[in-house]
Amino acid sequence: MPPSRPLIGSLVALTTAGLVGLAHSRAPSAILPPLAVVDRPDGQPEAYYAVGDKALTTGLTLLTNYWTTLVNEQPNLARGHVDHYLPPALKDLGYRPADALMAQLAETFFAARNPQTGLIPYAYDAELPSDPNDPSTRTTTGNKQPVGLIDRAAELCQWSPDDRALQTRCLELAQSTLEHFDVPQSTAEPTGLWGWVDVTSGAAPRHALTLTQDYGQVALGMVKLADANSALQPWADQKLRFVWQHPQNPTLPLLYEQFVLTQGLERPEEPSSDTDTLYFVRQLFELCNLTGNSQYCDWAMATTQVWVERAWIPEWGHFIRKLNPDGSPAVDSLYGDAKHNILYILVQAYRVTGDRAYLDRLLLAWNNLKNLGKNGLAPETVRQGAMVADQGLDPEQTIFLDILLEAYAASSDPVFLQAAEDLGDRILEQGESAMRLDSGQAGAALLKLAQARYPIGRLELDLPTAGTQLTLRRGEQTLLQTQVPSEIAILYLPQSTYTVIAQYEGTTHTIPIQLSESMQITVP
C-alpha cells in the first residue's frame, strides 16, 4: 500500500483529547466528562469512565476519540488506511462504545462495495510507485482495491462472529479477491498476485507491484475466514509458498521487498533486503499460530536467524536496516520501523522456541537504543553506535512500549514489565510527540500497559436518576468527580478498595466497595 498520509482535519483533535485525559489523571479532583455515552440493547444510555491509572485513562481516551472522530468525519480511512481497528481487549472488557464503533466501521466499509465486481476502493487517491510492467503509465490508488484489504474485513467479522449478514459480506469479498487478484497458473508452480485492481472493471487499469507483506496480509485475511470456506486456506498457502520459493539468494532465506506477478522485483540500484520484509516474517509467525502449520514457523525462524546473526553489529550495539543478498551488511544504520520490526521478531522467535537468547538480545538492543537517545526514549536513527542528532527521537515510542509488553506477556519476566512501565511514564510525560496516534496504536499500547500493571475491574453503577453527582475515592484520594448524564455509569479502574459517593436531590449515599473483575451496584 502507499505510505500513509497524515490524518487531516479534526482527527488531529484526538491528540488534545488524549492529553486532556492525561491531565485528568494528574488532577483527579477535576470534573471528568464521560469517555462516551452509548445505548444498551434495551435503549438505556450508559456513561463510560476510566480512572485510577494514567495509562488506563489516557489509553481509553485516545482510543475512543480517535475512532469516534474517524467514524464521524473521515470514515473512508477505514478502507485500508488504518493498520487495524479497535483492539479486542476492549471487547473483553465489555466496553460497549467499541462495539458501536466497530458496527459503524463495518457499515461504512462495505457500503463502498461495487455491486458488480464485489470490490471495495481504497481510502483515498494517491500515486503508486511505477509499475515495472508498464513504467511509462502513471497509476494511482483511485477507485482501486489493494489486495490486502480482505484482512481488514476479516477483522470486522472476527469482532462480530454472530452477525450472519456481516459474515456473508466478508466471504463475498474473499471470493472477489480470489477472482480478481490471482495470477492464473500455467504450471503446477504457485504464482503471485496483482497489487491493485480497478473496482469497476475488476481488471485493468491494475497494478502489478506488490509488497512482500501484502502476501502475508491477504493470507491472514483468508485464514481468518477459512472456517466458513475451506478453499481459502489452501489458496493462502499457495501465495505464501510463492514468496518463500523466490528468495533473493537460493542458499540464504533473505526475502525480496516487492514482487511482480511471477517473481521478486530485482532492483539493481538497491539489491539489498530490507527490514520491511520482516513484516512478512511477523505474519508467518501469526499464521503459524492461527493454523498450527509448523512450516510457517520454520520459514519465519529461518529468516529471523539470518537477521539475528548477520544484522547485529556487536561493536555498535545495534542492528542495521539492510543486508546484501549474501547476508553481509549493506548499511551502517538503523532507522524508522526497522527498529520495531526486528525487535518484534525476537519476541515471536522466543514464543516459538523458548530460547531465552532471543529475549536477552531484545533487552540488550532496547537498553542500548534508549541509552543512545534522551530521557529514556529511543532515537529515530542510529549509525555506527551513535544517535544521529539531527533526526531527533523516534516519534513512535508507543510501538516500543507494545514490544516490551509483548515480551512480558510471552515470558512473565518482570524485567520487561519494569522496562515498559519506565517507558510508559516517559511517554506520558512527553505527550503526543512520543505517540503513534494513527490507527489508535498509542491508545492500545497504553491500555495494554494498564492491564499488565493491574487487574482492571469494571464497575457498573445503577443510579436513581440522570444528573447524579458521583464521587469516587481511594483512601483519601479523590479519583473522580462528575455529574453522570445517564442513569447508568460504567467505570474502569484497577481492582482495589474504593468509596462511592452518590448525591442527588439533597440525598447522599456512601458505599464502600472491594472491586473485583466485574461488579454491579444499585445506588438506592
Q: Beta-carbon neighbour count of residue 249 at 10 Å? A: 15
Give the list of residues 6+ apart from residue 390 with CB closer than 8 angstroms, or none: none
Residue 32: predicted pLDDT: 84
Q: Give the model confidence (pLDDT) of 200-213 as tens digits.
A: 999 989 999 999 99
Residue 30: predicted pLDDT: 54
CA-closest candidate to residue 4, choices 299, 396, 381: 396
Q: Which residue has the higher pLDDT, 519 or 17?
A: 519
Q: Give the model confidence (pLDDT) of 36-50 as tens digits.
A: 999 999 999 999 999
CA dihedral 133, 138, 140, 145 (to 10 degrees): -30
Whether the pLDDT of residue 452 is over 50: the answer is yes
Whether the pLDDT of residue 16 is over 90: the answer is no
Q: What mean pLDDT comes out for the span 142-158?
A: 97
Determine which of 123-137, 288-302, 472-486 has the lowest per-residue pLDDT on average.
123-137
Domain annotation for the chain: domains and CATH numbers: 113-271 (1.50.10.10)
Residue 9: predicted pLDDT: 37
Give the strand order in the sheet containing 258-260. 209-211, 258-260, 263-264
Q: Give the model confidence (pLDDT) of 327-384 as tens digits.
A: 999 999 999 999 999 999 999 999 999 999 999 999 999 999 999 999 999 999 999 9
Whether the pLDDT of residue 25 is over 80: the answer is no
**Which pLDDT band, with edges at 50, 70 and 90, does 494 fall under?**
very high
E strands, 365-494, in order: 381-383, 386-387, 456-462, 469-474, 477-483, 488-494
pTM: 0.93
What is the Cα–Cα distance from 374 to 240, expressed in whole angstroms?
Answer: 41
- Reduce the DSSP state of residue 241 to 3 states and report it: helix
Whether the pLDDT of residue 26 is over 50: the answer is no
**Which pLDDT band, with edges at 50, 70 and 90, does 95 fall under?**
very high
What is the Cα–Cα distance from 146 to 214, expressed in whole angstroms?
Answer: 9
**Which pLDDT band, with edges at 50, 70 and 90, does 133 fall under?**
confident
Q: What mean pLDDT comes out for the span 429-456?
A: 97
Identity at 351, one-letter amino acid code:
R
User: What cell was used for 257?
Assistant: 521487498
What is the Cα–Cα distance from 444 to 468, expressed in whole angstroms?
Answer: 31
CA distances for 485 relative to 48, 64, 232, angstroms? 10, 18, 48
Indicate the DSSP class of residue 255: P
Question: Position of cell 489486495?
Answer: 147
User: What cell was used for 430?
Assistant: 512527553
Q: What mean pLDDT comes out for the span 82-109?
A: 97
Q: Give the model confidence (pLDDT) of 411-437 as tens digits.
A: 999 999 999 999 999 999 999 999 999
Please, are residues 174 and 236 in contact by the beta-carbon 8 Å criterion? no
Residue 474: predicted pLDDT: 96
